[in-house]
Amino acid sequence: MGVEAVPAVELENVTVAYGRTVALEDVSLRVAPHEFVGIVGPNGSGKTTLLRTILGLVRPVRGEVRVFGMPADTVGPLRRRVGYVPQIAPVDIRFPVHVFDVVLMGRFGQIGLLRRPTAADRDAARRALERVGMQHLADRQIGQLSGGQRQRVFVARALALEPDLLLLDEPATGVDPGARGSLYELLNRLHQEGMTILMASHDVAVVSQLVDQVACLNRRIVLHGRPEEVLGDEALEGCYGRGAIFLAHGRLPHIVVKTHPEGGTPPARPPER
């Protein structure tokens, strides 16, 4: 009764600026619990900023951001409910730390200061590693993994805190096509189990198959709706810039570029097949 009334993520007229550069303008978005929402849009369209705003890492100049009904920059309990996988983790891969330790770090927030990880924390980290199929590499130093393996470790780190909401920023970056399938399969399974997921991606084809809702972002939310509504829409041009046409091959939309859009950033490449 009314349990689902609180949206997992709620942005109201959010504007974010870095200095004079406006990264997000008047963005409103609601993600219901258990929903899988994909955010598509060209490079530089604000996808990463949107995720960082939801995480409370970036403060909007206008508008409100609430996560599970709490302001996004809440320090306490909220931080235990949100898992995040950055596009490229800003880490030194030569850092002397092993895969298992990295995953365990996901729990450091809820373990709290001055306390050591308990058996329960280690179990959670182990389960997260198993979910991404990396348990056999638990003792590897992280620099000895391939990019795709490392990405899965960072997914495991986000899962280790047993979040209710998972934010992923282009999780397929650096992952070779073969491993991409298993990554998306994992996301699909998490979704089936009731996890709320918000994923930024330029892989329109994949997004359309996985998610419940697509938001097309280009500083503003240009379109928002069910994948078949949004991706069939000619208005998707408005998101990727003039000249980009989406051709539907069965269910998979492809992006074809007629002319370069002004502004310089090329539109997203057609999904490799």
Element containing residue 153 per DSSP (H, E): helix 147-160
Please choose, out of 173-181, 207-215, 225-233, 237-245, the segment that lies near another protein by the rule CB under 8 A. Answer: 173-181
In the DSSP assignment, the letter for residue 69 is T
Q: What are phi and psi of 248, to 5 degrees?
A: -95, 120
How many alpha carbons lie under 13 Å from residue 81 in its C-beta half-sphere?
19
Using the minimum distance from each CB to another protein, give the nearer residue, 84 or 246.
Answer: 84
Nearer to another protein, 36 or 100 (CB): 100
For residue 95, state whether it binds another protein (rule: CB under 8 A): yes
Contact between 118 and another protein per CB under 8 A = no
Contact between 101 and another protein per CB under 8 A: yes
Cβ–Cβ < 8 Å for 253, 205: yes
Q: Does 96 bind another protein (CB under 8 A)?
A: yes
- CA pair distance 4, 225, nearest whole angstrom: 20
CB 157 within 8 A of CB 106: yes
Taking CB under 8 A as the rule, does residue 141 contact another protein?
yes
Binding mask 186-225 for another protein (x = CB under 8 A): ----------------------------------------
Per-residue buried b or exposed e for 55-90, using 16+ beta carbons within 10 Å of the residue's own CB: bbebebeebebbbbeeebeeeeebeebbbbbbbeee
Nearest Cα neighbor of 52 from 19, 14, 21 is: 14
Q: Among 4, 64, 123, 176, which residue interacts with another protein (rule: CB under 8 A)?
A: 176
Using the rule CB under 8 A, is 114 a contact of another protein? Answer: yes
Q: Cα separation of 16 and 49, whole Å?
A: 8
Is 17 an interacting residue with respect to another protein (CB under 8 A)? no
Separation CA 137–CA 59 (nearest Å): 37
Number of residues that bind another protein (CB under 8 A): 47
Smallest separation (angstroms) from another protein to the CB of 22: 18
User: If binding is defined by CB under 8 A, does position 18 make contact with another protein?
Assistant: no
Is residue 126 within the footprint of another protein (CB under 8 A)? no
Q: 68 or 240: whose CB is closer to another protein?
A: 68
Residue partners of 191: CB distance under 8 A and separation at least 6: 34, 36, 197, 210
We find the least distance from the C-beta atom of residue 84 to another protein, in angstroms, to be 5
Instruction: Select the residue interacting with another protein from 72, 128, 132, 137 (CB under 8 A).
Output: 137
Q: Which stretch binds another protein (CB under 8 A): 31-39, 144-152, 251-259, 265-273?
A: 144-152
Are 217 and 50 contacting, i.e. CB atoms less than 8 angstroms apart? yes
Interface contacts to another protein, rule CB under 8 A: 55, 57, 75-76, 79-80, 82, 84, 86, 89-92, 95-98, 101-102, 105-111, 113-114, 116-117, 137, 140-141, 143-149, 157, 161, 174-176, 178-179
